[in-house]
Amino acid sequence: MRLIVPLAAAAFGLASACMAADLRTGVLRVDYPSVPPVTRLDARPSDLGFAGAALAQEDNATTGGFMGHGYALETVAVAPEGADAALDALLAEGIGTLVILARDADLLRLADRAGPEVLVLNAAARGTALRDGDCRANVLHVTPSVAMLADAAVQFAAWKKWTRLYLIHGSNPQDLALAEAYRRAAARFGARIVEEREFEDTGGARRTDSGHVMVQRQLPVFTQDAREHDVVIAADASDVFARYLPFHLWDPRPVIGSAGLQPVSFDPALEAWGATQFQRRFEALTGRRLAEADYDTWLALRVLGEAVTRTGSADPATLRAYALSEEFELAAFKGQKVTFRPWNGQLRQPVLLFDGRITASVSPQEGFLHQVSPLDTLGLDAPDSACGAFGGG
């Protein structure tokens, strides 16, 4: 005899103890026109982010089944010019919690358009300014900032005593911002940038279009005659050249940053801290490996789910207050609880260092101490952040 106990019966125990809370969340993804990635292994799956949302929806709904809480999810992918209208449509349905995957400027505009009553979780925009002077009280940042990622990478280099850095950055604004984050990180953790070069993005006629033969000839020439260095830092947010650097440098050195050893919020190889189960559940549900945007979106929705579970409320202001409170903590398959920084709404979290096949290390590194949490050695600490929207923290 095989007895399948229905979930309704399973939920019986708590039915009387809980009030009903129903949370409806929109996941809004802005899709930008882009050239194909340098490597086809970096191709964007069409369900990027949404796949993580689907897993989080299952997780939240399962827990909600025991608590008497309901969860509904609406996912929208839209071109940049349609983003405002898509946002308006979600808000018109009465949705008060949003996970947004968009670039910095669009995230900011959409958050302002949504207004202070709406709680926005940022799952893709990594600009440090959004956690600094451009912060917004209604935005919680689940995805790590560029500063956190750069700090994580440079801490590792410093731990290795690779303190002479050769910084190669792209020429687009986001590349320059990334380069700046590496300069700041170097200064914070006792490393020095001994050489710095810009790899110009020449648009359609990429230097690398000619294939591997040209890459093999040109990159050594581009990187030669640099001052003595221990490691190359690649700052290529535009995906133009960094992937070509390993094995094509003039001097044989490891590459860290946009290629080689990359700081990421999550990687599909991680097995520690119960991550194996998480990866398997994701793969069984979606049929592919997890990407960072999936993790960031999953985590954003889990933040909401955890806040609903603990407060019994679906009110955006209540959820925001709980997320920012001392009581909030969440397990995120990274070995320690994640919490929010009260000064700028950034989620404190470890940053993984991924070489494309394995999780080579996890920052913060041993020995980098902080009076509150070692996690606050990554990114903007309270005194560093000009954010005033959170009441000064």
Partner 1 sequence: MRTYLLGAVLAALALPAEANKVFVSNERGNTVTVIDSDSWEVIAEFPAGNRPRGITISPDGTRVYVCASDDNLVRVFDAETYEELPSLPSGPDPELFVLHPSGNPLYIANEDDNLVTVTDVETRQVLAEVPVGVEPEGMGISPDARFVVNTSETTNMAHFIDTADYAIKHNVLVDQRPRYAQYSADGSKLFVTSEIGGTVSVMEIDDDGAPELVHKIGFEVPGVLPEWLQPVGAKITRDGKWLFVALGPANRVAVVDAKSYEVTDYIMVGQRVWQMDFTPDEQFLITTNGNSNDVTVIDVAAKKALRSIQVGQQPWGVIVQPDM
Q: By CB under 8 A, tell whether 59 contacts partner 1.
A: yes
Q: Which two tokens stand for residue 77?
A: 């992918």
Single residue of 220, 329, 358, 386 touching partner 1 by CB under 8 A = 329
Site for partner 1 in 352-391 (CB under 8 A): 373-374
Q: By CB under 8 A, tell whether 127 contacts partner 1.
A: no
Q: Could you please report the per-residue DSSP string of 86-127?
A: HHHHHHHTT--EEEEE--HHHHHHHHHHH-TTSEEEESS---
| Contact mark string toward partner 1, 142..181, x via CB under 8 A | ----------------------------------------
Q: By CB under 8 A, tell whether 202 contacts partner 1.
A: no
Distance CA 208, CA 219 (A): 9
What is the nearest approach in angstroms of partner 1 to the Cβ of residue 378? 14
Residue given tokens 């949705």 in the structure block? 95
26, 77 Cβ separation under 8 angstroms: no
**Residue 243 CA: distances (Å) to CA of 41, 48, 157, 211, 249:** 11, 21, 19, 13, 12
Q: By CB under 8 A, tell whether 327 contacts partner 1.
A: no
Q: By CB under 8 A, tell whether 3 contacts partner 1.
A: yes
Residue given tokens 């994640």 in the structure block? 338
Distance CA 322, CA 334 (A): 21
Single residue of 74, 337, 356, 368 touching partner 1 by CB under 8 A = 337
Q: By CB under 8 A, tell whether 214 contacts partner 1.
A: no
C-alpha 253: how far from chain center: 27
Q: By CB under 8 A, tell whether 19 contacts partner 1.
A: no
Nearer to partner 1, 11 or 89 (CB): 11
What is the nearest approach in angstroms of partner 1 to the Cβ of residue 157? 22
Site for partner 1 in 279-308 (CB under 8 A): 280-281, 284, 302, 306
Q: By CB under 8 A, tell whether 269 contacts partner 1.
A: no
Site for partner 1 in 227-266 (CB under 8 A): none
Q: Could you please report the per-residue DSSP string of 326-364?
A: TT--B--SSSS-BEE-TTT-BEE--EEEE-SSSEEEEES
- Give the residues lining the site for partner 1 (CB under 8 A): 1-7, 9-14, 58-59, 62-63, 65-67, 274, 277, 280-281, 284, 302, 306, 309-310, 329-331, 335-337, 373-374
